[in-house]
Amino acid sequence: MSDWLLALHSSTETLGIALVAAEAPIGEARVMCRSLGRALTNELVISLQQLLPADHWADIRRLAVATGPGGFTGTRLTVVLARTLAQQLGTPLHGVSSFALMAPRLHQQLPELQRDQPFSIVQTLPRRRQVAGRYRIVKAKVEELESPRLLSERDQPAPAVEMAIDVPADVRQLLRYCRECHDRDLPGPWDPVLPIYPTSPVGPV
């Protein structure tokens, strides 16, 4: 019987789940990515059970979940599931913004001379509004200097890269972070882990 580390990501139309035994190398992780859209409501628990049957959920030792920004329903569903599991199992839970998960790979798009500087990840929304978070990579570790927020029309962060979705890569990054927290035996209270909503979920922006 194994103890498990679990990562959940559904800030986009694609659900990403990553799972690894607590003592196994991260290269042995099992990853499932499914394009579900609105079907996520009915398929989330089914998908998790395909990767880890429900009778093994008591063996989950640590969880991590992407907190957005992203689709309102998708992000909310996985955060609620992760919070519920963590609360019921007494398991540590870590929330990470979807932009922070992208930061290590998008950082490589910067000119080499700018890679030691803080940089922004920017997402353009309908009606030309923008959401951005601020990051720095130090010794291959991500520092989130500013959580994703809605920019004013006067905000022009620089240097900046455009948000780019890669759920398989990002859910693996989330699982790596979960492993680091597990190896360091960090606390992970479930109650502060909430979805990030830079804009109102009621009506388009």
List pLDDT tens digits, range 109-141.
999 999 999 999 999 988 778 999 999 999 989
Percent of the chain scoring above 90 in pLDDT = 89
Give residue-wise pLDDT tens across range 149-195. Answer: 999 989 999 999 999 999 999 999 999 999 999 999 999 999 999 99
Predicted pLDDT of residue 201? 57
DSSP 44-88: HHHHHHHHS-GGGGGGEEEEEEE--SS-HHHHHHHHHHHHHHHHH
Predicted pLDDT of residue 176? 98
Predicted pLDDT of residue 72? 86
Helix, strand, or coil (residue 6): strand
Helix, strand, or coil (residue 158): coil
Percent of the chain scoring above 70 in pLDDT = 97
The H-or-E segment that residue 98 falls in is helix 98-106
Q: Is a pLDDT exceeding 90 seen at residue 97?
A: yes
- Each domain of the chain, given as residue ranges in start order, spans 4-97+166-183, 99-162
The H-or-E segment that residue 34 falls in is strand 30-35
CATH code, 4-97+166-183:
3.30.420.40
Q: Is a pLDDT exceeding 80 seen at residue 202?
A: no
pTM of the prediction? 0.94
Give residue-wise pLDDT tens across range 134-152. Answer: 999 999 899 999 999 999 9
Provide, for the chain, the percentages of residues in helix, strand and coil under a 3-state DSSP scheme, each rounded to the nearest 5.
Answer: 40, 30, 35
